[in-house]
Structure 1
Amino acid sequence: MTETPGITGHWDIDPSHSRLGFSTRHAMVSRVRGAFNDVSGFADIAEDLANSKAEVIIQTASVDTRTEARDEHLRSADFFDVETYPEIRFVSSAIDEVDESSYIVTGELTIRDMAKTVSVPLELIGIETDPDGNLRAGLEGSRRIDRKDWGVTWNTKLDSGGVLVSDKITLEFELSLIKNLAEAAPADSSETAVQDDAPTETPEPVTEATPAPEADTAAPQEAAPTPEAPESVPPTPVADETAPPTPKAPESAASVAPAAEPVGKEFPPPPPVKPAETPADKPAEKAPEPKQSDAQSSGSAFGKLFGLR
């Protein structure tokens, strides 16, 4: 058993970074190159290469030689007849390792519904992780075939005796494959047989334990507080109605006796009217004399009455 660590797994062809092309002589003097732009395929590489497989599918209408007139001729019934045979298919039957990085892939190549066995040598260029995190493997190789073996026989003779298109076609493979982690590589048949023969054990039923009832951990409710008795308010003292009234102080004779008007005097004449004075001519006001009390005015009145003044 040949082990190939690092390349095992499921790989998908990345068509945007791969080229499946061909080249041939034209008019016996130049080489014309072309390629197919619509390509898909995969490779399942097991640890035992005998259990590995690969498949490539080419859409014949995608042929491109950079000349539209020539491409239309290749799509016609003279060559690929894309209306009748839309696909070229290769399916591997064996993958052999020649050395550490060289392989030979053998399988059936079907063109125009004619299948022929061919072997294609491929070299593993390397395995790297791209900036997007994809694990990529690069393979390159070529194989020369005779197109007449698949019924592609159209040609035109030249005056020199040669032909316009060579019968020998070189197939060119430049492949970039991305490892698909979701797809598993096929298991070895020997390991599968051992697994199939192994007795199947019936798992014992598992009895789940019934959980014990949970204890009531709720805290007891607190008793309602007893209302406190209202504080006593001292009574407001009530006046004793039987107590004798408080005697009033006697009024003085001066305050009780009526004031006597002066006798023998006439009222003085009214003062003459003076012209209005300006603030500049107005003399400074004198401070008001102190007013006599009622007692003094009463005494003065009695003095005038009895001729004392």
Structure 2
Amino acid sequence: MSTKTTLSDLTGDYVLDTTRTRIGFVARHAMATRVRGQFDEFEGGAHFDGDDPSKSSVRLTIQAKSIKTRDRRRDDHLCGTFLDTDRHPTLAFTSTTVQQLADTGFRVTGDLTIRGVTKPVAVDFELTGAENDPRGGTRVAFKGGVTIDRNDWGVNWNAATRLMVSAKVTLELDITAIRQA
């Protein structure tokens, strides 16, 4: 973030810059290796209130079938058996509270919906940058993550899956958003 930029300067409504945003995940497989992946299709936005971050809000919708792990068979298996994308085509997050933790640190608590199951999660974010783009718009960047237990959302296949794939999945979020005029 520029030394001249204050949180107050960043107040406004934002949409995700989908070309510069990465929504990824990491899960242990057979407790020895890690499977990394990401979702390629999503949309979302936020309202950021730099004077009172508690008045801020975030929303995100992910197309579940856009999951990519660099293994098509695994992707198909994740879409069908784990995420049941035919019946649950999206994953969604809607914030309920935003709390400022430090100068540029925030905790965004909200409802995460996967497979039609909604549970609360708290995601810690760090504001990593803010700048004016060549077109005169303002871009902000945040990095955050949270580890969830996929079983809480019914993301499981069978008893053997519990032994082969860790229940803990780390969600990794590298977000860039553009302020709307």
User: Is residue 176 of structure 1 aligned with residue 176 of structure 2?
Assistant: yes
- Aligned equivalent of 2:59, options 55, 60, 79: 55
User: Is residue 86 of structure 1 aligned with residue 84 of structure 2?
Assistant: no
Shift of 1:156: 5.9
User: Is residue 4 of structure 1 aligned with residue 13 of structure 2?
Assistant: no
User: TM-score with structure 2 length normalisation?
Assistant: 0.91
Shift of 1:118: 0.5
- Aligned equivalent of 1:96, options 93, 96, 99: 99
| Alpha-carbon distance between aligned partners in 2 of 1:130 and 1:8, rounded to the nearest angstrom | 16
Give the AA of the match of 2:37.
G
| Residue in structure 2 matched with residue 64 of structure 1 by the alignment | 68
- Aligned equivalent of 2:17, options 14, 18, 28: 14
CA deviation string 1:65-87 (max 9, x = no partner): 111100000110x2111110001
| Residue in structure 1 matched with residue 39 of structure 2 by the alignment | 36
| Residue in structure 2 matched with residue 74 of structure 1 by the alignment | 78
Is the Cα contact below 8 Å between 2:54 and 2:100 reproduced in 1? no
Give the AA of the match of 1:174.
D
| Residue in structure 2 matched with residue 105 of structure 1 by the alignment | 108
Counting strand residues as a fraction of each chain, which structure ranks higher? 2
SS at match of 1:144: strand
Q: CA RMSD in A?
A: 1.6
Shift of 1:135: 1.2
Rg comparison, structure with higher value: 1
Equivalent residues, number:
175
Shift of 1:62: 0.5
| Alpha-carbon distance between aligned partners in 1 of 2:136 and 2:71, rounded to the nearest angstrom | 38
Is the Cα contact below 8 Å between 1:92 and 1:106 reproduced in 2? yes
Which of the pair has the greater relative contact order for Cα pairs under 8 Å at 6+ separation? 2
Is the Cα contact below 8 Å between 2:139 and 2:178 reproduced in 1? yes
Shift of 1:39: 1.0
CA deviation string 1:56-105 (max 9, x = no partner): 100001001111100000110x2111110001000001111011100000
- % of aligned pairs identical? 39
| Alpha-carbon distance between aligned partners in 2 of 1:14 and 1:155, rounded to the nearest angstrom | 37
SS at match of 1:70: helix
Shift of 1:13: 0.4
Is the Cα contact below 8 Å between 1:155 and 1:163 reproduced in 2? no
SS at match of 2:85: coil
| Residue in structure 1 matched with residue 166 of structure 2 by the alignment | 166
Structure-to-structure mapping, 1:155-234, within 5 angstroms: 155=158, 157=160, 163-181=163-181
| Residue in structure 1 matched with residue 142 of structure 2 by the alignment | 139
| Alpha-carbon distance between aligned partners in 2 of 1:157 and 1:93, rounded to the nearest angstrom | 36
SS at match of 1:99: coil
Where has structure 1 moved over 2 Å in runs of 4 or more? Answer: 46-51, 130-134, 155-158
SS at match of 1:116: strand
SS at match of 1:152: coil
Unaligned runs of 5+ in 1: 182-309
